[in-house]
Structure 1
Amino acid sequence: MLKLIIILTTVLVCSSADALAVGALFARPLNGTQTHKPMDIIRYDAVVDIQDHVATTVVNQEIYNHLTTVSEATFIFPLPPGAMIVDMGYEFNGKWYTANVRERQEAQQSYNSKVRRLIDPALLQEWGDNVYKLDIAPINGKSIVKFRITYTEFIPYVAGELRYKHLLRTTGLSPKPLERMTLSARVRSQLSIASVTTPDYQAGSANVVTQHSGNEYTISFGDEAYVPSKDYRIYVKNSRNDVAMQTLTYVPTESDSFGMEPFFATWITPPDEAIQRVPTTWVITADVSSSMNHERMTSLRTALHAFLDNLKTGDRFNIVTFSTLVSSFRPDVIDVTSENIGAAREWVNRLTSMGLTNFYEALKTSLRQSWNLNGKSSNVLVFLTDGEPSYGETRPAVLLDSVQAWNKTNVRIHTIGIALQQYSLLEMLASRNGGTFTHIEEDDEISLLVGERVVSITADELKDPYIDYHGLTVMDVFPNQLPSISATERITQVGRYGVGGEYLVELRATLGQDELSLQRMVLFGSPSLNNRAVARLWARAKINDLLSEILRVGESKELVDAVIDLSIRFGILTKYTALYSDPDVDEPDQPTDVVTEPRPLEVASMSVAPNPVTESAVVSVTVPDAAIGAMIVVRLYDVHGRCIGTVYDGIAYRGLSFRVDAFNVGGSALSAGAYTLVSTVNGVTITVPFIVRL
């Protein structure tokens, strides 16, 4: 009898914007030389539960293997930024099995040990931020595979409303239309709900939004012979005229592995009405490297014009652009006048794209402007890019520490990423400097969303917010120090607490020129506020804090083991863990003997510029001093994990760079699409996307 094995791993480097939207789905024989073959998605059923600002999504899928032989199925798919997988299961011989989180190397070795006698696994497992790879083996020929994935997220809060996105376009992997597709959602809120809309799908017989009360809605969407064209978005707007504060909790049960202390999540949303803002010094810093070409550059110009539209009398501003070198509209910030705005528009219209991506000099130039020094004015920097640093200083830790040293006037840094494959650096750049990160997909209106962000962050600030839990013992709170936010943004704080009961929760802050105090009695441990996702969201925040420290100081056994321990106890996937299941009852799955220490210090990095690549690109590799003189091999793989060719095999030296010709890799020209460069030196593996657009 075939014994089905399944493994789900975090993908660490994504492919292209298109691949991010669709991923990959295929099967290939466990023995023989036959190539992979696409698989059909037959059924797709999603159930979404939205409680206040927290969403839990369960997706059940059935896929069909067209091959006639025993095969391995691989599914590469994305999730929205910030979403985390908390459960995975599959059906085998009529029974459903649930996977467990294991240390990544251990899980992979267990999986390989089961199938190695039949196949030498060659699929890459490290692809990009919040992209995942699911392997299932062995599966019978001409058979259906059923699996279920559950993920949880804080819903993005934009322009005063919650915006949930379900990546339905992922179903476009199927060569044939889906026989059946359904999505149902339940929306609940402690506050009165003003509206629930689905902007991409009009109301009708296939898409029904039903109001059950002032605090609850349901949504039903379904179709047969379905061909995806858009993602499914749910927008929720609450009725409120003042600062709102809400709390959810979770009290662990005996079956949990979360420990005894309960969890809480509190969020604050300032009022909807516009508040006259204080004068602001603005710098918008925009990427004009080679990848910002054609339609993207047109959208950038429109976005910069939207930025200029939102400037007010009393503000000061400048525009900084960067590629290999850095340019600016004026050497320093200037006053908002009709003449200066007109000159800025003419300068924006002349912008062109060319060169590499120099984050370091762009941020240094921007933060050395004449920012406001008095406490009555605001300082805001908007940093917009579609790539990663590829020229000059590229090490994330050095970039983050340098910005902290340069930012002497408390400039709030908001980052905007366009169709990014990796966005951890931009997230940390924003979070460490009192700002927010926004991800814009390739097919979204860049100008519209950038303009929307500008409107959001020009609103008045809720300054120095502090939440007092008045007698409730709280611990492990994230973030410990709350950042100031604008009047259209949200503050979220998660933590653990001691003995439950009814406590006064008070928000204290400065709003405009007034001191604000908002109080609310909250019953910690109330069944109506109990949501298991809160425990995972707390664990995710703690893991993110540890990962931020790893990015800053490098990997150490203590930090990595702490991440792995939290991941396993709370069932959360990270780059150090994997979900693994094996229903082999005759041969119980035991942890394999995997040597996990000493762990290499991953301070090596690799970049590609330009990326996407139209003809050729320069690959730059930075290695630690200990690796200078060692052998380094760099290979290119396609989206299915096949090695296309070796692009470098030689000595690692300081300043190593080489050119890759898209028309000659392994003796053949590359087709347009998504590839991955993988370099190995001194036991450290680095992966980066290599996108070809011809």
Structure 2
Amino acid sequence: AQQDTTPTTGTAQQSTSPVFIKSHRVSVEITDQIARTTIDQVFVNEGTVQAEGTYVFPLPRGVTISDLKMIIDGVPIQAQILEKDEARAIYDQIVRQMRDPALLEYVGTDAIQANVFPIPAGGQRTLQIEYTQLLPVESGLVHYVYPLRTRHVSPLPVGELSIRVSVESNDPISNVYSPTHPIAIDRKSDTSFVAGFETTNTQEPTDFSLYYGVSSEDINLNLLTYRESASEDGFFVVLVSPPVEVDESRVIPKDVIVVLDQSGSMFGEKWDQARAATKYVLDNLNSEDRFNLVVFSTGVNVYANDMQGLDAVEDAKDWISGLEAIGGTNIDGALKAALEMNERERQTVILFLTDGLPTEGETVGANILANVKANAPENVRFFTFGVGDDVD
């Protein structure tokens, strides 16, 4: 069987090879700018002959690698870090043979190279790479980059791709941002977070890039700028974030008014959900907050004539539990009643829960909005929630 010994990025096959990446999983642990990246890749050879060659993996620009490990199917193999000139010679060869200009973007970087990498016909190989690097910090932003593009590796898409980045910092973390990929973020505390990205059947056009801000300021601001050339306009992104956790003594007291639709269309599961949501709000008030409840159907009822403190929470929850959904939908009357409770010297939040259109009192939506605008002072903030899957 004829063997292919051409070195390529990510595996050792030419673009006509039946080899593809079945799964590509990346786990990154960052502790105070020290990033340890662990890569698991599964290569599959769907051809009828053995595929063999040299493995080359490009490194991000400016990265200094230590603690390099490479394992194939559980067996450690010899790997070396190529300097920029050596890496460029290999990249030029790949581009000449594969005609992939995207690889030129890697020119100027170092690379990891392994020895012979055979994959039997119809078989697969699991490759693991682990390396440690020191991440750069600029203007309070820590930057992590992972080389993710694989079109120059194989014309076939990657079956499964996932990236998980776990960060621990001695300093508070402010903004977390990826300009290249949509990420989910789970903040464990003000000094840690986990970011994740997953997709299937993909050929990513860009490398994975992640920024996060490190600052001890109350309000953190970071600026990212980019300009292709001196003759072209540039772009910028400003990231502003408050601290994740704030001492309760610094929290501004507020008045919370829950306006709850009690009409007949809310009967059943929707009414149960709305009451549960109201109780959750009451259970999570801050110590200096006050509250009141407004329920509406054909008419409007209020829990109390004035704002209440935390000592009334349990009684208010019992009051809500005893109500049933019946009657029409008087949205205009309910919002007017809520606004009349406002005291201008305190921040006021109105939470409006409903499932439908008004059927009592003022029923024209534009007129209801005009009434709210005319009667709502600057210290009032509205948040509207649709209840159920048939909100109209």
TM-score interval for Structure 1 and Structure 2 normalised by the shorter chain: 0.3 to 0.5
Normalising by structure 1, we get a TM-score of: 0.26
Normalising by structure 2, we get a TM-score of: 0.45
The answer to which structure, 1 or 2, has the higher relative contact order (CA under 8 A, 6+ apart) is 1
